[in-house]
């Protein structure tokens, strides 16, 4: 039986991935998605690619066996993809999250996450909470950067 906690985390991740789509759609100028400002070195487009790659890898591939192969370097080097391509990638990420989270049980959450991340081992529950916080950290950066670029 699917975990109540996993379902709650999935609901939050899906909600916030939809907010990511809304942020990208809120850019009046599509080219601003790829701009940086001052000491900010990552564009909103690159942060969106990073979030999708991160979640599709750590949730979709590791927990859901999706077969996704991450190219973290490309998340930060790829430039000027269309807004539609980014939104499509977010939609794929939502589906990967929904699938992987739907197969987790409460017992699974207490088990060790199968990959050591950030130099330490953790439970699946801890790492899922970390991924949720990571998404929101970058979502806030994207919102701030959009407002700064489109005064």
Q: Please tell me the predicted confidence (pLDDT) of residue 151.
A: 81
Grade residue 20 by pLDDT with cuts at 50, 70 and 90: very high
Is the confidence at residue 67, as pLDDT, over 90?
yes
Q: Dig out the tokens for 55 from the structure.
A: 């979640």
> Whole domain around residue 41: which residue ranges?
4-149
pLDDT digits (tens, 9 = 90+) for 49-64: 999 999 999 999 999 9
Grade residue 27 by pLDDT with cuts at 50, 70 and 90: very high
Long-range contacts of 56-61 (CB under 8 A, 24+ apart): 56/92, 56/93, 56/96, 58/115, 58/117, 58/127, 58/131, 59/13, 59/96, 59/97, 59/100, 59/101, 59/128, 59/131, 60/93, 60/96, 60/97, 60/99, 60/100, 61/96
Q: Dig out the tokens for 15 from the structure.
A: 């909600």
pLDDT digits (tens, 9 = 90+) for 109-143: 999 999 999 899 999 999 999 999 999 999 999 99
54 close to 131: Cβ distance less than 8 angstroms: yes
- What whole-number percentage of the chain has pLDDT above 90? 96
Q: Please tell me the predicted confidence (pLDDT) of residue 118.
A: 86
Is the confidence at residue 1, as pLDDT, over 70?
no
Instruction: Please give the tally of structural domains in the chain.
Output: 1
Is the confidence at residue 32, as pLDDT, over 90?
yes
| CATH (domain of 83) | 1.20.120.450
């Amino acid at each position: 039986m699917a975990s109540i906690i996993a379902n709650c985390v999935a609901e939050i991740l899906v909600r916030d991935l939809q907010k990511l789509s809304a942020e990208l759609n809120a850019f009046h100028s599509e080219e601003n998605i790829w701009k940086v400002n001052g000491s900010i070195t990552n564009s909103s487009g690159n942060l969106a690619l990073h979030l999708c790659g991160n979640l599709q890898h750590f949730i979709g591939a590791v927990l859901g066996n999706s077969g996704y192969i991450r190219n973290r370097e490309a998340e930060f080097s790829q430039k000027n993809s269309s807004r539609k391509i980014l939104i499509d990638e977010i939609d794929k990420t939502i589906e990967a999250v929904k699938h992987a989270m739907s197969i987790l049980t409460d017992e699974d959450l207490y088990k060790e996450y199968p990959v050591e991340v950030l130099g330490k081992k953790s439970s699946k529950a801890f790492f899922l909470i970390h991924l949720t916080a990571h998404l929101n950290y970058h979502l806030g950066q994207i919102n701030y950067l959009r407002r700064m670029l489109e005064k």
